[in-house]
């Protein structure tokens, strides 16, 4: 028995080669099926309720426990994930952002994903972004393009410096109102001018989420607007979390056992205080590690990305398995 669980994080899971945007950074559906077969062979996939019980009452987890988590409420999860989980009789934990589901409005992060997937010319996108900054420089008192690029074009684990610059500018750096304007401009130009139709295709409906819950899946909060929670005031965070809890109620979630997955993995002490006051059971981050319940608090549980786990059923175990 154990106090550790390998929590695995998924986003897009789709038939990439036959999709409209094969360049999107996702997991191919066939590889997901192979990965689940690998997990079934080497791990014991547990339910969210088992993890909550271990945190609440100190019960031991099975050796080599794993928990599967799916962010952002994509129809991919209904179309490709659910049939595989049903086949293996496994539970998944799904974290849909309420606004995208209820209002039919595309998350900014998804707009950026598809803008990047729609063109391979990152330099062209940067020049387009610079042109927009030039257009709004005086109105928003923006610094020079060169200064922005020098500060924010910093490569990270899976993105080169140019991609990180585009993401940082459109997700965090610029004022929210301007980010929305520029995102809309680029999305309309490179992807689609029918956001509502794109949303219906990208995200699950409330009825599909209810169907997942009826199948025994866990549905948790991913906030309302999918903001970087740690960048908000405490009052704004309270509103975000309260609205997401209201959404959970509409899809039949028992709020005596509700959970949170931080958008972008971002939070601060205010976030934790709000979750505590609202009797949240646990929260998932994007920190890369095995979740030891002795080493991590319930509101800071780390996860592994799907890319950390082998994607062939017959693959040998890797170092993460040895640490689990």
Q: Is 292 helix (H, G, I), strand (E, B) or coil?
A: strand
Tokens of 19: 């999709």
Instruction: Report pLDDT for 158.
Output: 81
Residue 1 has pLDDT above 80, yes or no: no
E strand segments, 143-270: 218-219, 260-261
The closest of 201, 196, 243, 205 to 224, measured between CA atoms, is 243
Q: What average pLDDT score do residues 268-295 get? A: 98
Distance between CA 94 and CA 212 in Å, rounded? 9
% of the chain at pLDDT higher than 70: 100
φ, ψ of residue 253 in degrees (nearest 5): -75, 140
Task: Tell me the β-bridge partners of 284.
Answer: 261, 301
Please say whether the beta carbons of 107 and 226 come within 8 A. yes
Q: What average pLDDT score do residues 160-169 get? A: 95
Q: What average pLDDT score do residues 281-290 get? A: 98
Task: Tell me the β-bridge partners of 156.
Answer: 159
Confidence label for 244 from pLDDT (cuts 50, 70 and 90): very high
% of the chain at pLDDT higher than 90: 95
pTM of the model: 0.94
CATH hierarchy code of domain 4-104+203-323: 3.20.20.370
Judged by average pLDDT, the poorest of 149-158, 241-250, 278-287, 303-312 is: 149-158
Which positions ≥6 away from 100 have C-beta within 8 Å? Answer: 72, 73, 106, 107, 110, 199, 202, 203, 226
Residue 25 has pLDDT above 80, yes or no: yes
β-pair type (4-10, 291-292): antiparallel
| pLDDT tens for each residue of 202-243 | 999 999 999 999 999 999 999 999 999 999 999 999 999 999
Comparing 124 with 158, which gets the higher pLDDT? Answer: 124
| pLDDT tens for each residue of 69-104 | 999 999 999 999 999 999 999 999 999 999 999 998
Instruction: Report pLDDT for 300.
Output: 98
Instruction: Report pLDDT for 104.
Output: 87
Which positions ≥6 away from 175 have C-beta within 8 Å? Answer: 140
Q: What average pLDDT score do residues 126-130 get? A: 97
| pLDDT tens for each residue of 26-73 | 999 999 999 999 999 999 999 999 999 999 999 999 999 999 999 999
Angle ∠(306,310,313) on CA atoms, nearest 5:
120
Distance between CA 52 and CA 281 in Å, rounded? 7
Q: How far apart are the first and last CA of the chain?
A: 11
Please give the DSSP secondary-structure letter assigned to residue 225: S
Instruction: Report pLDDT for 160.
Output: 94
Q: Where are the domains of the chain?
A: 4-104+203-323, 108-197
Confidence label for 157 from pLDDT (cuts 50, 70 and 90): confident
């Amino acid at each position: 028995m154990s106090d550790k669980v390998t929590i695995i994080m998924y986003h897009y899971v789709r038939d990439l080669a036959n999709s409209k945007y094969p360049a999107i950074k996702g997991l191919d559906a066939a590889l997901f099926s192979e990965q689940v077969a690998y997990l079934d062979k080497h791990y014991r996939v547990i339910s969210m309720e088992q993890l909550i019980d271990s945190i609440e009452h100190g019960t031991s987890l099975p050796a080599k426990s794993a928990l599967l988590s799916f962010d952002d409420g994509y129809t991919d999860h209904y179309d490709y994930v659910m049939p595989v989980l049903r086949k293996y009789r496994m539970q998944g934990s799904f974290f849909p952002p309420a606004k995208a589901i209820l209002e039919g409005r595309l998350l900014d992060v998804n707009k950026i994903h598809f803008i990047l997937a729609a063109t391979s010319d990152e330099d062209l996108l940067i020049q387009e972004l610079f042109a927009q900054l030039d257009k709004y420089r005086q109105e928003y008192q923006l610094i020079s393009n060169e200064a922005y690029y020098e500060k924010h074009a910093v490569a990270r684990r899976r993105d080169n410096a140019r991609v990180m610059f585009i993401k940082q500018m459109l997700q965090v750096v610029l004022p929210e109102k301007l980010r929305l304007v520029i995102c809309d401009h680029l999305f309309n130009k490179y992807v689609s001018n029918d956001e509502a139709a794109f949303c219906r295709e990208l995200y699950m409906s409330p009825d599909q989420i209810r169907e997942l819950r009826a199948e025994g899946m866990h549905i948790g909060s991913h906030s309302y607007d999918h903001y970087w929670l740690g960048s908000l005031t405490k009052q704004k965070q309270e509103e975000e979390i309260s609205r997401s809890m209201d959404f959970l109620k509409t899809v039949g979630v028992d709020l005596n056992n509700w959970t949170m997955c931080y958008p972008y993995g971002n939070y601060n002490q205010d976030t934790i205080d709000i979750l505590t006051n609202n009797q949240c059971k646990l929260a998932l981050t994007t920190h890369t590690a095995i979740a030891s319940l002795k080493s991590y608090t319930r509101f800071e549980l780390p996860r592994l990305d799907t890319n950390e786990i082998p994607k062939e059923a017959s693959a040998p175990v890797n170092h993460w398995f040895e640490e689990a």
